[in-house]
Each structure stands twice: as structure tokens, then as C-alpha cells.
């Protein structure tokens, strides 16, 4: 059996290793266009900040791939012929397979702002190794930078640029930073933290026009508020989309929506072809099609897709949502539904006095459905369990100590949270039902 995997990101690499664990003798080939070896994309920022080398990003020793007999091919795939079970690389080489996994990941979004096309230099994304190289090339000739987009990559890029001593303006279109995940007060804490670290956070502002120097280098931007921000580097971090453009015009294109359409067992519309990770759009029966684009989901999907390719009965159900991030020094963990919770959900929010930390618990019909945890370390697995066990908030607050994961001697003092919850519960009791 010959397995071919296109894309050596976390979904593809996890799939390759899963296949090898199960099939000691199969031929497994991993094609990557971005790098020779699988690397941790989530850590690009630490290379930019000189805390890691590029080699350090590789989660496995290089000889491990030979030991695992996983053949690595560097190249871009330009054609897919599912009838003859072959793919063609840009180099002209052809690879044949019995089962194929598409794990091509995602690409940064762009908006055709006026003036952007004239900017031949200075516009940067921060998703790929090539983006990193471009950022590094631009850094010495940059004094001021504008980062556009209120998500996680934007904050990472801003942190890197601050590290390098740049004046950074961070444009957020929404009324507060990252409203899909953070409540107003949490976001205000993050914004304050960013400002203290030297980032000029501008809320409810977006790019109206990109200004260019005579040589073609970005010179600044004009915002929709009419303000001009001079910059020699424009970081565009407005999200990513499934990398499916390359499938347009191949011999046998699989059915695509936003991403490559797959069934809950990761099978595409083509025989012998599966897709997983950021590039896949999973059609779950009776639900909105699902595109998951975080590290954890790609790893999970890569493993499950590999098992599906081996014939296991897989029917994907996204587990209770969980994600993590770090905003400069503030660590963030979220579990379950928080900002997407029903309007009549019960919310308990408690900032921890004297510390850049907070906890937000959300309950619906008496049971925990989600939490946002900032500035302290918690074991998300326990919150997942409490959500699965439909625990009420008073149970969760009473057991918070078990979920603490702070360093020794550095545990968050929970008494203020307990006291705040007692008042919260009293206030709710004194209100008439349904208020």
C-alpha cells in the first residue's frame, strides 16, 4: 500500500506518523512545499525574537523520519489525477499513490485595499517560514510598523516588532480586541497590557488606503478614521483561509466549498482521496459545515484521517472546544462556549485584584458550558470534564483548586474568586426568575 500525503504541517505529519504506527511496511511519502522537515508553526514568533533557531522548531529529530521510513519530498503539487492516482509536482516529477491525503493547510487572507497593489515592498504576513524570512529582511529598514487585524497572529507579530524596538500601531476593526473570544473587560485588560508594552492599540479603526513611497516601499496607511500612520512595514494578520486555490484547474478537482469538502470520515468527493486539517471543510449531518483552523484541531484531524484511510470507522465529532494563546506575558486558555453562548446564559466574570488575571465562567440551564481563563495557569482538562458532566457553577467554583496549574509557590489566591461568586449568587437569587 502506498500512502501519499500532501502538506507536511501538523495535520500531514501527524497523519504520516499515525499511518506508520499502524502499517509498519507501507510506503509513506510526505510532500511539503514550505520546508524540508515538519516544524511547529505556532512558534514562528520565537524564532523572530531570537529565542529559538529554525532548527529548534522541528518537533522530531531529523533522523527520526528516516527511522520511521517516511519519505519526504520537497516540492509544490500542481496537478492531481484521481483517476490514475497520480499527482504532479512543479518540478515535473510524478508521484503515484493508492491513498492520498490532502493536508495543505491555510493561507493568509488579504483585502484589496486601495493602494496595496502599488506597494511592492513592506507588506508582510506571518504564517509561513517564507513570511518569517520576509519579516526578518524588512526589520532592519523599519522604524515604525502597523499591524492590522485583531486576532492572535497580530498580537504575536506586534510582540516581535516591539522586541526589535519598532514603534507598533495595532489596528483593530472591532470595538474591542478579539470579540469572538474575549469579553469587553478581558479585552480591555489585554489592550492595557499591550499599551504598557509599547503597542499603540487603535480600536474601531481599519485600513482605508495603503500609502506608498516613490520606490514602492510601504510608507504608511490612512485609516477609515482619516488618521495617517507612517510605517515601513505593514503586517497583515486578518485571518487565514483554506489553501485550495491550487486545486482550481487540476485534472480531477475535488468538490470544494470554503475548503475541500469532506464527509465526517474525511473522505473527499474523489475516490482514494482524503483531506484533513485547515484545508478541510467537514460536512456534519444537520450542522453548519466546519472549518477548524487551529493547531490542536489539525493534529486531531490528521490522526483521525489517517485512521480513516486505514479503514477505521471514523465519524468526526469536534470535541469540546479548547484553545490557548499568550498575549505578551498574559497566558490564555478557553474551553467550551463563551462568547457564542446563548443570550440568556449565566455569566460569572471575576478579575483577580492585584494581578493581570481573570476568570469567566459561563453556564446554561444550570450547567457549565465554557470558560475564559487569563493570566493564571489552569488544567483545561478538568474544565472539559466539568462541561461534559454538566456541573453547576457553584460546584465548579468550589473545585477550582483542583484545576490550578500555577507553578509551586505561585498559586493564584482563590478566596477573592469564591467571595465574588458568593455575591454573584446572592444577586441572582434576589432577582426574580427570568430577569
Partner 1 sequence: MLKQGKANRLAHDLTHRGVTAWLLSAALFAFYLALYFTEGFTGVARALGLPDKWTLYGLLYTLAILAGGVHVLRKYRHNRYQVVRTAVVMFVQVTLAFAVPQILKFFHQPEYYFSYLWPLKLEDLTPGIVFQLPLPYILYSFLAALLLAPALAALFGKRWYCSWVCGCGGLANTAGDPLRHLTSKSSAAWKFEKVAIHTVLAVCVTLTALLFVTWGLGSRHPRLSAFTYHFQSLYGLVVVAMLSGVIGVGLYPIGGTRVWCRNFCPMAALLGLVQKIGRYRITVKQNMCISCGLCSKYCEMGIDVRAYAQANTSFTRASCVGCGLCAEVCPRGVLRLENTATKAPQEFVLVRISGVR
d(CA 342, CA 339): 9
326 is a site residue for partner 1 (CB under 8 A): yes
Nearest to 416 by CA among 369, 354, 328, 344: 354
Single out the residue of 24, 92, 112, 140 in contact with partner 1 (rule: CB under 8 A).
Answer: 140
* Contacting range for partner 1; rule: CB under 8 A; set: 90-98, 195-203, 294-302, 343-351: 294-302
Single out the residue of 197, 377, 390, 418 in contact with partner 1 (rule: CB under 8 A).
Answer: 377
* Contacting range for partner 1; rule: CB under 8 A; set: 94-102, 160-168, 194-202, 344-352: 160-168
Per-residue contact flags (x/-) with partner 1 for residues 2 to 41, judged by CB under 8 A:
--------x-----------------------------x-
Angle at CA 337, nearest 5°, toward 388 and 183?
Answer: 140
175 is a site residue for partner 1 (CB under 8 A): no
- DSSP class of residue 360 equals E
Buried/exposed code over 394-422 (b: 16+ C-beta within 10 A; e: otherwise): eebbeebeebebeeeeeebebeebeebbe
167-172, strands of its sheet edge to edge: 123-124, 233-236, 144-148, 167-172, 199-203
Distances from the Cα of 151 to the Cα of 148, 179, 194, 240, 264, angstroms: 9, 9, 13, 11, 28
218-223, strands of its sheet edge to edge: 207-212, 218-223, 228-230
Single out the residue of 72, 85, 380, 391 in contact with partner 1 (rule: CB under 8 A).
Answer: 380
For partner 1 (CB under 8 A), the number of binding residues is 56
324 is a site residue for partner 1 (CB under 8 A): yes
Per-residue contact flags (x/-) with partner 1 for residues 327 to 366, judged by CB under 8 A:
--x-x-x---------------------------------
Angle at CA 219, nearest 5°, toward 217 and 220?
Answer: 135
Q: Residues 402, 406, 411, 413: what is their CA dihedral angle, to the nearest 10 degrees?
A: -70
125 is a site residue for partner 1 (CB under 8 A): no
86 is a site residue for partner 1 (CB under 8 A): no
What does the binding site for partner 1 look like in residue numbers (CB under 8 A)?
Answer: 10, 40, 42-43, 46-52, 56-59, 61, 136, 139-140, 163-165, 295-296, 300-301, 304, 314-320, 322, 324, 326, 329, 331, 333, 377-382, 384-385, 388, 402-403, 405, 407-410
Amino acid at each position: 500500500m502506498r500512502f501519499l500525503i500532501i502538506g507536511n504541517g501538523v495535520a500531514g505529519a501527524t497523519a504520516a506518523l499515525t499511518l506508520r504506527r499502524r502499517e509498519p511496511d507501507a510506503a509513506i511519502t510526505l510532500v511539503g512545499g514550505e520546508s524540508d522537515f515538519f516544524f511547529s508553526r505556532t512558534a514562528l514568533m520565537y524564532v523572530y525574537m531570537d529565542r529559538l533557531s529554525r532548527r529548534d522548531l522541528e518537533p522530531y529529530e531529523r533522523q527520526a523520519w528516516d527511522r520511521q521510513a517516511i519519505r519526504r519530498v520537497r516540492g509544490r503539487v500542481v496537478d492531481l489525477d484521481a483517476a490514475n492516482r497520480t499527482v504532479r509536482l512543479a518540478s515535473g516529477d510524478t508521484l503515484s499513490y493508492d491513498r492520498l491525503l490532502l493536508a495543505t493547510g491555510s493561507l493568509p487572507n488579504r483585502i484589496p485595499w486601495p493602494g496595496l497593489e502599488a506597494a511592492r515592498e513592506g507588506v508582510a504576513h506571518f504564517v509561513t517560514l517564507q513570511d518569517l524570512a520576509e519579516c526578518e529582511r524588512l526589520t532592519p529598514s523599519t522604524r515604525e510598523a502597523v499591524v492590522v487585524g485583531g486576532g492572535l497572529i497580530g498580537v504575536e507579530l506586534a510582540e516581535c516588532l516591539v522586541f526589535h524596538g519598532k514603534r507598533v500601531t495595532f489596528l483593530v476593526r472591532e470595538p474591542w480586541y478579539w470579540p469572538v473570544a474575549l469579553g469587553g473587560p478581558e479585552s480591555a485588560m489585554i489592550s492595557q497590557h499591550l499599551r504598557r508594552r509599547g503597542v499603540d492599540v487603535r480600536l474601531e479603526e481599519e485600513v482605508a488606503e495603503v500609502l506608498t513611497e516613490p520606490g514602492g516601499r510601504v510608507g504608511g496607511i490612512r485609516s477609515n478614521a482619516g488618521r495617517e500612520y507612517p510605517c515601513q512595514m505593514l503586517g497583515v494578520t486578518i485571518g487565514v483561509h483554506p489553501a485550495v486555490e491550487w486545486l482550481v484547474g487540476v485534472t480531477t478537482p475535488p468538490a470544494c466549498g470554503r475548503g475541500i469538502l469532506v464527509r465526517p470520515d474525511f473522505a473527499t468527493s474523489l475516490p482514494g482521496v482524503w483531506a484533513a486539517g485547515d484545508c478541510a471543510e467537514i460536512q456534519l449531518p444537520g450542522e453548519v459545515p466546519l472549518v477548524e483552523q487551529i493547531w490542536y484541531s489539525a493534529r486531531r484531524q490528521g490522526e483521525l484521517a489517517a485512521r480513516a484511510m486505514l479503514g477505521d470507522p471514523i465519524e468526526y465529532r469536534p470535541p469540546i472546544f479548547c484553545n490557548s494563546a499568550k498575549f505578551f506575558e498574559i497566558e490564555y486558555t478557553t474551553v467550551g462556549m463563551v462568547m457564542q453562548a446563548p443570550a440568556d446564559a449565566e455569566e460569572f466574570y471575576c478579575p483577580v485584584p492585584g494581578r493581570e488575571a481573570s476568570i469567566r465562567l459561563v453556564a446554561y440551564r444550570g450547567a457549565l458550558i465554557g470558560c475564559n481563563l487569563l493570566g493564571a495557569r489552569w488544567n483545561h482538562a478538568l474544565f472539559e470534564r466539568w462541561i461534559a458532566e454538566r456541573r453547576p457553577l457553584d460546584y465548579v467554583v468550589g473545585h477550582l483548586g483542583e484545576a490550578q496549574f500555577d507553578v509551586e509557590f505561585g498559586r493564584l489566591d482563590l478566596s477573592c474568586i469564591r467571595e465574588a461568586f458568593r455575591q454573584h449568587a446572592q444577586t441572582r437569587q434576589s432577582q426574580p426568575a427570568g430577569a
